[in-house]
Every structure is written in C-alpha cells, then in structure tokens.
C-alpha cells in the first residue's frame, strides 16, 4: 500500500510518514495541493490522506481535480477545524467514516486506510 | 351606574378562573422595571370601556330623549282629550238648557197671561213642549204675588204660594232663571227654568217649567268614560248636582274643591290623597249655577304609556346586555390574539437571540479548537514517533521510564483532543438534523462535563438505563443542549453531597422517558407554573438568563417530545422528558439527515 500524506503542516506529515513506515506502510508527504498534483503524476498511490483546509487547493478541491483521472485512489480527510461546513463537505465527499478530526490516533488512521482499500 | 356595573364585571372576570385568560395576570419579566410595551389588562379595559361607551352612550341618550318625548306627548294628549270631552259635554248641556229656556221664553212672549190661564191651553203647551224637547215634567203659571195660577203636571201643587222660594225671588230679580237641582214641595230632585214677562202696565207674570234630572244625568252617564273616570256636576257652592262615583251622592257636598271661575274649559292636575294624581277638567256652564266636572285618574290615563315605557326599558336592558356581552367577548378575543402574537414574537426573538449566541459560541469554539488541534496533532505525531522509535529500536528497550513519559504525553494529547472534539460537536448543528442516537451514550457524554464539578462538591451521579433501549432518531446537538441544561440546573440546585439520578426507560414502542431527579432545594408551586416561560429565572442576581428551560422545552417540542416538572421545596425536583423514538419534525427545517 502506497500512501500520500498532504497537509500544510510539514512537521505533522513528515512525522506521520515516518511513523507509518514503522508499520510497513510506504508513505510520501507533500505540503500543498499543488505539490500533491505533481507527486501523483510521478507515482501511483492507493490512498491519499489530505487536510481539508489548505492554502490555494484544499482537500475537497484536490479530490475533485484528480478523482476522474485516478478513480481507484481512496481519500481520507483530516481536519483540525470541526466546523459544520467542513463536516458536511468531508462526510459528503468521503462518507462520515473517512472523516477524521485532528489529533488522529495512528492506529485509527491505519485502520481507516485498510478499510478504504477494502471497499 | 354603567361604569360601576362594568367595574364589577371586570372584577368578576378577573376572579373567574374558568376563563383562564393568560394575559390577565401576565407580567412581562423580560421588560424588567421598564414601562411594559403591552399592558394587556389595561388594553382590555380600555377596549371594553371605549367600545361599550361609544355604543352605549348614544343608545342611552336616544332612549332617554324618546322616553321624555313620548311621556310628554302622552301627557299632553291626555290633557287635550280631557279638555275636549269637557267642552263637548258642556256644549250638549248648555244647549239643553238654552233650548228649553228659549222655548219657554217664546211661550211667555207669545201668549198673554189670560190665554195661559185658560184651562186646557197650558195643557196643550206642555204636551207640545214634551213632544218637541222632552225632559219637561210640568209647567205652571204664577201671578205677581207668587201664587200659582195654573199648573199642568203630575204633582198636586196647585194654589201654593212660592213667594218665599229662592227661585221665585231670583226670577223676579233677573227676569230669567235656571235653578240648582232641588227637592222643593214635590220632594223629587228637579231643576226649574223660570221666565218673567213684564207687561206694559207694569204687572208681570212668571212662567215656570221643571226639568227631569234623569234626562240631564243621561248626558253624563252616556259618555262611557271607563278607567276610574268620574263626570258629574256641582253648583257653585260645591254641592253635587248629579251623583258622582267617587266624590259623593247628589245634594252632598263634594269632597273636591270648587275650581276657580273661568270662561273657558280648564284642565288642572291635582294630588288626591286617596287615588293618587288626578286630572280635573271643568267648565262653568253659562247662565246656570252648574259646573261640569270631569275627574280622571292620571295613572289610568297613563296605562298605555306604562306599557310603552316597559317596552322601552326592556329594549334598553336587552341591548345593553347584548352590547356589553359582545364588546367583552370581542375585546377578550382580540387582546388574547394580540397577547398570543406578542408571546410568539417574544419567543421567536428570544430564540433568535439564543441561536445567535450559540452560533457565536460555536464559531469561537470551532476557531479555538482548530488553532489548538493543529499543534496538538503535531505533538501527537512527534510523541507517537518517539514512542515508535523506542518501541521499534532495541536501544531503549527496558527503559520503562521513557515509555511511561511518552504514554503520559499521548494520553494528555488524547484528553485535550477529546475536549476540542466535544467543543466542536456542540457548535456543529444550528438547525435540527436527525441521526441515529444511543441515548445512554449521549447522556454519558454530556455527564463528562459535570465530572469535575461533581467531584469537587461530592455530588453522586447515577445513570440507570433500561436494557434493550432502542436507537432513537433525533437531533444530537439539541439533545446535548437539553440534557446539559437539565443537569446544570440540577447541579445548581444541590448543595455539597447531593444526588443526581438519571433514569432512562421505554414508555411505549413510540416513546422514551428520561427522568432527572435531584435532591436539591426544590421550587415553590407558583414558580413551577412559570419556569418554562422565557426569561423567568430565580438566579438573575447570579447570572441566570432565564433562557435555559424555556429553550429546553422549545427544543423538545420541536423534536416532538415533552417536558414536565414536579418539585417539593426543600426535598428536590424531578424533570421528566418524553422523547419520541422517531422524531417527526413539526416546525423548523431539517438541515440534514444521517442514517
């Protein structure tokens, strides 16, 4: 399973990638939607873990931009902001199951990834 | 009188609990000490008094004017009728005398003493007079010394001397005389008409005829007056000349006074101690000693007026009752409508205010949560990484202290994360959104807010949920607020060492009961009736807004549920919440539904 982590908090994604590697999951990370678009061109990912609120290209927008091209790619949304709009948008795009509010427990994230791939 | 009656009516209604006019004793608590924008009681009074006044004053005025006019016209009509009757009767009587006097005068002028003194002549004249005029009993002829010279009639009177009789002296003086009714030698009531004819040689003779009073009385009795009316004649001394119904018999002195002389018919109003007010019509009959009297009882004459008056008063009474009734009903209906509209307005206003407040708090909480969550997530990941490093590397194996430290950091992060998540879940749904809810779990979540306070104040919280509770479909955010409010109230009511018992039971297949019981200070009965009113608070001095329970009840109504309260001052309070298993939205839109 190859995973792409996308969040504007570099410290968060880099650490998360390192932790996932301990669990045998290959994870790359980028800090913006734009970088993510480039990264996806280079490499095929099974799951994208993406923050809903990012500068320029947000998580939802990113999904819409690449969903047609990569229909098999699964999305898990994260947010630090539990506002209603975020919740509605996130749960509509990915389902309530794949919407996580930070801070996220690593085991839960891994579980969700596997669950997403199983679908 | 009308004002006092309406006053008493107002107090009657205010005491009349059956009406249960909520606005009557309503005090706008939200208005506080300021002038109340709507004083419903005053509005009601003003409406009733003004409308009733505008309707009743002209009605009563018209009735009074009509009353007086009708009374006056009936009175004057009665006086006129009396006067007319007296005049007509007078004319008949007067004519009766004049006619007979003229006939007698004609005889005296036409025939000489000698002719009249001839036997048979007077007989003939009497016969003719009787045929032509009637009412004549006899006729006699007198010489200058008052000796009767000739007599034709039914009585044995021939040869009597009349010179000392009153009528004889009068006729000698005046030339013509009509007497009172008197008995005379014959001892039968009669009237005398006498004519004196003075001859050219200075001698004179007198021709007299007597009239039967029965003919004369016939004029009066034939009038058919009815209604306690009395018509009779008196002479100028007040002696009755015909029998009266109420004022004595013939030749008796009338118990009425003798009215003053007048040439024309006059009508007087007098008080009679026996029969009440009377109307007297009278006329002096010229050239006779008679006064024609018509006495009528005023009360009898006014009988038609009394009937009209009764109808008027009845009409007025019915109208007043009807108008006042309609006015009171209308005022009550309208003021009640305004009151209800005002209540709805106030409730909406309060709700909007509260929603705005909650939305602001929600935004603030979400902002804070967001700002805190990002660094928290980094701490979480970094600490997680440390944990991973020490777990997956052999270098730190057996360093229990390091493991404990990292676990402690992660646990604290989890706790902080739980708090921010809870904050977020409270601010999430401003509108109603239905989703499946485990009620017990929801209440446990809400209770976590009170854990610390319960610990500090030694409050024992127990949650007792029945087995096999169905998953209900309702609004999570609203339910959280409802129970948060109820628990908060319970905690505020309790002192150190209180008990808060929450029981969840299945009421029937469609509804669930949640009872929240505390053993706090309780509430008096008069407060219980008002605790669900907006802005009713007993803690205004300690920062209470009085919104909590009103909104709780409002939310519950929106969710198709209900709330009731029982309280025993000093012993505690129990709130009973009924929730439908499946919420049907009554009003307010559904933001979204999750299944």
Cα dihedral A39/A44/A48/A52 (nearest 10): 40
d(CA A114, CA A101): 18
Q: Measured between CA atoms, how close is B390 to chain A, in angstroms?
A: 11
Q: pLDDT tens across B64-96, in order?
A: 999 999 999 999 998 999 999 999 999 989 998
Strand order in the sheet with B460-465: B460-465, B499-508, B511-518, B572-580, B562-568
Closest residue in chain A to residue B372, using alpha carbons only: A80
Token pair belonging to B290:
């008679």
Q: Does A92 touch chain B (CB under 8 A)?
A: no
Q: pLDDT tens across B401-415, in order?
A: 888 899 999 888 888
At B485, which CATH number? 3.30.565.10
pTM beyond cutoff 0.80: no
Q: If you average pLDDT over residues B312-332, what whole number do you get?
A: 93
Closest residue in chain B to residue A7, using alpha carbons only: B374
Residue B500 exposed, middle or buried by CB count within 10 Å (0-12, 13-18, 19+) = buried
Residues 6+ apart with CB under 8 A from B201: none
End-to-end CA distance of chain A: 14
User: Among A15, A83, A88, whose Cβ lies nearest the Cβ of B366?
Assistant: A83
Q: For chain B, what is the domain count?
A: 2
Q: pLDDT tens across B325-356, in order?
A: 999 999 989 988 888 888 888 878 877 887 77
At B87, which CATH number? 3.30.450.20
Out of B284, B301, B318, a domain closes at B301
In this model, does residue B153 exceed pLDDT 50?
yes
Q: Measured between CA atoms, how close is A56 to chain B, in angstroms?
A: 18
Out of B301, B329, B352, a domain closes at B301
Handedness of CA A71, A76, A80, A83 (dihedral sign): positive
Out of B301, B331, B353, a domain closes at B301
- For residue B22, being part of any structural domain is answered with no
Q: pLDDT tens across B159-212, in order?
A: 778 888 888 889 999 999 999 898 887 888 889 999 999 988 888 999 999 988
| Coil vs helix vs strand at B261 | coil
Please tell me the predicted confidence (pLDDT) of residue B178. Answer: 92
ipTM value, please give it.
0.85
Domain that holds residue B526: 432-595
| Coil vs helix vs strand at B228 | coil
Q: pLDDT tens across A77-106, in order?
A: 887 765 556 666 666 666 666 778 788 888
Is the domain of B122 the same as that of B264?
Answer: yes
DSSP state of A97: G
Cα dihedral B237/B238/B241/B247 (nearest 10): -170
Superfamily of domain A2-118 in CATH is Response regulator (3.40.50.2300)
Closest residue in chain B to residue A81, using alpha carbons only: B370
Q: Where are the domains of chain A?
A: 2-118
- For residue B592, being part of any structural domain is answered with yes
Strand order in the sheet with B432-437: B472-475, B432-437, B590-593
pLDDT category at B21 given cuts 50, 70, 90 is low
In this model, does residue B284 exceed pLDDT 90?
yes
- For residue B104, being part of any structural domain is answered with yes
* Cβ–Cβ < 8 Å for B42, B339: no
Q: B413 and A103: CB-CB below 8 Å?
A: yes
Q: Does B358 touch chain A (CB under 8 A)?
A: no
Please tell me the predicted confidence (pLDDT) of residue B57. Answer: 94
Please state the φ and ψ torsions of residue B241, each to the nearest 5 degrees: -100, -20
* Cβ–Cβ < 8 Å for B27, B306: no
Residues 6+ apart with CB under 8 A from B555: B478, B481, B482
Q: B373 and A22: CB-CB below 8 Å?
A: no
Q: Closest Cα partner for B111 from B127, B124, B98?
A: B124
| Coil vs helix vs strand at B460 | strand
Rounded to 10 deg, the angle between the B40-110 and B2-15 helix axes is 140
In this model, does residue B23 exceed pLDDT 80?
no
For residues B514 and B346, the model is more confident at: B514
Q: How far is CA B178 from CA B96, B199, B242, in A?
A: 12, 21, 16
User: Among B363, B381, B424, whose Cβ lies nearest the Cβ of A15?
Assistant: B381
């Amino acid at each position: 399973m190859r995973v792409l982590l996308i969040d504007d908090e570099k410290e968060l994604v880099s650490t998360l990638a390192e932790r996932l590697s301990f669990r045998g999951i290959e994870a790359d990370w980028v800090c913006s939607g734009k970088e993510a678009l480039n990264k996806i061109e280079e490499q095929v990912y099974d799951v994208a873990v993406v923050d809903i609120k990012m500068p320029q290209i947000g998580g939802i927008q990113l999904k819409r931009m690449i969903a047609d091209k990569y229909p098999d790619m699964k999305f898990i949304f994260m947010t630090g902001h539990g506002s209603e709009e975020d919740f509605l948008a996130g749960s509509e795009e990915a389902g309530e199951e794949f919407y996580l509010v930070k801070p996220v427990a690593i085991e839960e994230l891994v579980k969700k990834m596997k669950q997403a791939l199983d679908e | 009188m009308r004002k006092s009656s309406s006053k008493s009516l107002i107090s009657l209604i205010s005491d009349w609990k059956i009406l249960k006019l909520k606005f009557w004793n309503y005090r706008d608590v939200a208005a506080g000490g300021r002038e109340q924008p709507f004083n419903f009681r005053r509005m009601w009074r003003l409406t009733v008094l003004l409308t009733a006044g505008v309707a009743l004053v002209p009605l009563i005025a018209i009735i009074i004017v009509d009353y007086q006019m009708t009374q006056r016209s009936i009175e004057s009509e009665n006086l006129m009728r009396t006067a007319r009757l007296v005049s007509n009767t007078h004319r008949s009587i007067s004519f009766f005398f004049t006619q007979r006097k003229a006939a007698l005068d004609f005889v005296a002028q036409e025939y000489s003493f000698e002719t009249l003194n001839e036997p048979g002549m007077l007989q003939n004249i009497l016969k003719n007079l009787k045929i032509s005029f009637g009412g004549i009993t006899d006729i006699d002829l007198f010489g200058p010394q008052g000796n009767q010279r000739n007599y034709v009639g039914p009585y044995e009177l021939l040869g009597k001397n009349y010179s000392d009789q009153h009528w004889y002296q009068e006729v000698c003086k005046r030339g013509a005389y009509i007497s009172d009714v008197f008995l005379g030698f014959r001892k039968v009531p009669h009237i005398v008409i006498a004519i004196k004819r003075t001859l050219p040689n200075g001698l004179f003779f007198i021709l007299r005829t007597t009239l039967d009073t029965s003919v004369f009385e016939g004029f009066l009795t034939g009038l058919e007056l009815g209604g306690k009316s009395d018509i009779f004649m008196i002479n100028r001394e007040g002696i009755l000349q015909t029998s009266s119904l109420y004022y004595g018999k013939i030749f008796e002195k009338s118990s009425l006074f003798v009215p003053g002389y007048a040439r024309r018919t006059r009508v007087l109003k007098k008080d009679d101690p026996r029969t009440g007010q009377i109307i007297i019509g009278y006329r002096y009959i010229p050239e006779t000693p008679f006064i024609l009297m018509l006495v009528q009882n005023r009360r009898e004459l006014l009988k038609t007026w009394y009937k009209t008056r009764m109808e008027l008063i009845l009409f007025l009474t019915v109208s007043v009752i009807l108008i006042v009734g309609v006015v009171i009903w209308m005022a009550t209906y309208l003021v009640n409508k305004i009151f209800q509209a005002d209540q709805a307005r106030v409730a909406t206003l309060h709700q909007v205010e509260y929603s705005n407040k909650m939305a602001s708090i929600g935004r603030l909480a979400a902002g804070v949560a967001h700002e805190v969550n990002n660094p928290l997530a980094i701490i979480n990941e970094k600490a997680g990484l440390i944990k991973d490093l020490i777990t997956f590397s052999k270098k730190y194996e057996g360093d229990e202290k390091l493991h404990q430290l990292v676990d402690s950091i992660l646990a604290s992060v989890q706790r902080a994360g739980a708090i921010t998540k809870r904050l977020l879940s409270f601010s999430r749904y401003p509108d109603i959104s239905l989703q499946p809810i485990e009620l017990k779990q929801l209440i446990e979540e809400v209770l976590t807010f009170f854990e610390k306070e319960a610990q500090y104040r030694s409050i024992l919280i127990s949650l007792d949920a029945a087995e096999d509770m169905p998953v209900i479909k309702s609004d999570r955010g609203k339910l959280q607020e409802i129970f948060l409010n109820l628990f908060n109230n319970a905690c505020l009511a309790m002192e150190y060492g209180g008990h808060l018992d929450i029981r969840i039971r299945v009421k029937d297949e469609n509804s669930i009961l949640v009872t929240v019981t505390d053993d706090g200070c309780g509430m008096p009965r008069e407060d219980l009736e008002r605790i669900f009113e907006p802005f009713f608070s007993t803690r205004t001095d300690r920062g209470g807004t009085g919104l909590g329970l009103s909104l709780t009840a409002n939310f519950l109504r929106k969710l198709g549920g209900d709330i009731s309260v029982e309280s025993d001052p000093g012993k505690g309070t129990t709130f009973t919440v009924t929730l439908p298993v499946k919420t049907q939205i009554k009003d307010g839109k559904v933001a979204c539904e999750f299944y």
